[in-house]
């Protein structure tokens, strides 16, 4: 646990008692704070009370009179589309609002005086690929013999980790919900993978969404910034952080060739290249890395490689670790091969951009797609539709989703069971049955993991019947 500093003897309120909220309450208490808690779920309140926390209705008059800070869980809206009533009451009372990420950064540096090498923090954000990039950085560090902990939006709650040891590295995946509100953001290395429209209602539009991501780089100023520059927002961010073309505090990452005197890592035709000061200093053939298929995963590999190079790892030890990376569940996860047909679970492709990258990774696809559609429509999928032999559409909005896919054959299946069965029956050797929904899962599943698990279960039925 990382005890929270700065609130010894103060009263702090915690809103939301899921994984991050309850761990924040424990860490605040370990740091000497008096902690009040609230969650709309009675069972969550009872669990917290069983640990000795006082539950208080935080919307009642005077609830914030003694409170020094409100700590809120990331899923609770604080601005758009409307503030949660508890957060609105805190703001009205002039009480600062923070989250567990902000508490982590303000509390991490205690007890490092005797270390030869101070611990480092690598923080990763972006629309797509941040989980794979985070896990890949952690994997490379671990295989290379470096102490590493993975936390934040993946792995453990950030305040649940052990205090890092001498030279240890904390790898944090951070969502826009987390970066938007944290009052302290001071990583040593910050990574921006890419940007595509997502969570726009929560951030009041694309500008607010980008601004939430940008805070990771603007609030504290990392020693090194790894920036994906395939989109205009990344190029803009890199330009804002850099003092000139040769400023190697910014490492530019792309899926096409880059040039110039700066530090850059790019993947072209399956080969990763590192250039610095106008000359190539590293190269890896990514085509042989089974756990990272497709251009989008090559971008993730470039970002992870750049972050590890910023931590002084060598190109060859990074390359060795890449080959043992198995990938993450529900992200380009190869499930089975039956009769020459491969089955790939990319349930995490919850938006159009992620699904497009998944389609482009395979030449012939039987595509299982659909779910709760997001703003912006499906037009951006057009470059990948040439790879689709047929789409099998699931979800409550299956008919409407299918209408948004002109020019390809579609079948409205609604359920995962029927979609997988139909795709398996029609797939030819060499094709891939790919779950890449391009939509949220909440119309049929609690989360994208449950959707992916259903796909895996249906593929197991197909494999058992073969």
Binding-site annotation: residue ranges for ATP? 126-132
Contacts for 5 with CB less than 8 Å, ≥ 6 apart: 31, 106, 107, 110
Contact predicate 355/381, CB 8 Å: yes
Contact predicate 249/241, CB 8 Å: yes
At CA 277, angle to CA 274 and CA 283, rounded to 5?
15
What DSSP designation does 382 have?
G
Distance CA 30, CA 27 (A): 5
Distance CA 125, CA 179 (A): 8
> Comparing C-alpha atoms, which of 198, 226, 228, 222 is closest to residue 212?
198
For the annotated binding site, the residues are 126-132
**β-strand pairing of 279-285 with 271-276:** antiparallel
> Comparing C-alpha atoms, which of 146, 230, 244 is closest to residue 192?
230
> Comparing C-alpha atoms, which of 335, 331, 349, 356 is closest to residue 432?
335
333 φ, ψ (degrees, to nearest 5): -90, 115
> Comparing C-alpha atoms, which of 133, 161, 155 is closest to residue 308?
133
Residue 336 bridge partners (DSSP): 343
Contacts for 53 with CB less than 8 Å, ≥ 6 apart: 14, 25, 29, 35, 36, 37
Distance CA 248, CA 227 (A): 12
């Amino acid at each position: 646990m990382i005890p929270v500093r700065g609130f010894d003897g103060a009263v702090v309120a915690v809103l939301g008692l899921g994984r991050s909220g309850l761990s924040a309450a424990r860490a605040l208490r370990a740091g000497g704070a008096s902690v009040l808690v609230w969650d709309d779920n009675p069972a969550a309140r009872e669990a917290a009370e069983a640990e000795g926390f006082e539950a208080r209705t935080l919307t009642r008059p005077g609830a914030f009179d003694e409170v020094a800070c409100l700590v809120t869980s990331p899923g609770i809206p604080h601005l758009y589309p409307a503030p949660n009533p508890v957060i609105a009451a805190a703001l009205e009372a002039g009480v600062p609002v923070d989250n567990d990420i902000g508490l982590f950064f303000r509390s991490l540096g205690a007890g490092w005086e005797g270390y030869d090498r101070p611990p480092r923090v690598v923080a990763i954000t972006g629309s797509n690929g941040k989980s794979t990039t985070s896990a890949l950085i952690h994997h490379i560090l671990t295989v290379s013999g470096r102490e590493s902990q993975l936390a934040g939006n993946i792995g453990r709650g950030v305040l649940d980790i052990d205090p890092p040891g001498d030279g240890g590295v904390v790898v944090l995946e951070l969502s826009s919900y987390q970066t938007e509100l944290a009052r302290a953001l001071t990583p040593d290395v910050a990574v921006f993978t890419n940007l595509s429209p997502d969570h726009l209602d929560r951030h009041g539009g694309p500008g607010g969404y980008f601004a939430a991501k940008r805070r990771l780089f603007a609030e504290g100023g990392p020693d090194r910034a790894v920036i994906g520059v395939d989109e205009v927002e990344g190029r803009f961010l890199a330009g804002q952080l850099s003092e000139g073309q040769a400023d190697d505090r910014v490492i530019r990452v792309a899926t096409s060739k880059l040039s110039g005197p700066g530090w850059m890592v790019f993947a072209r035709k399956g080969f990763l290249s590192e250039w610095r000061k106008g000359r190539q200093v590293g190269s890896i053939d990514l085509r042989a890395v089974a756990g990272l298929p497709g251009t989008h995963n090559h971008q993730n590999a470039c970002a992870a490689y750049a972050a590890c190079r910023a931590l002084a790892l060598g190109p060859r030890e990074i390359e060795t670790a890449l080959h043992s990376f198995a990938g993450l569940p529900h992200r380009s996860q190869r499930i089975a091969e039956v009769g020459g047909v491969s089955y790939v679970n990319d349930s995490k492709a919850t938006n159009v951009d992620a699904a497009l990258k998944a389609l482009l990774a395979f030449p012939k696809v039987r595509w299982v797609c659909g779910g709760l559609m997001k703003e912006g429509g499906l037009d951006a999928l057009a470059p990948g539709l040439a790879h689709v032999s047929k789409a099998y559409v699931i979800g409550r909005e299956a008919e409407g989703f299918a209408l948004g896919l002109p020019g390809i054959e579609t079948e409205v299946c609604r359920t995962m069971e029927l979609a997988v069965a139909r795709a398996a029956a029609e797939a030819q050797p060499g094709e891939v049955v790919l779950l890449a929904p391009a939509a949220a899962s909440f119309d049929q599943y609690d989360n994208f993991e449950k959707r992916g698990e259903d796909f895996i279960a249906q593929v197991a039925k197909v494999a058992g019947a073969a």
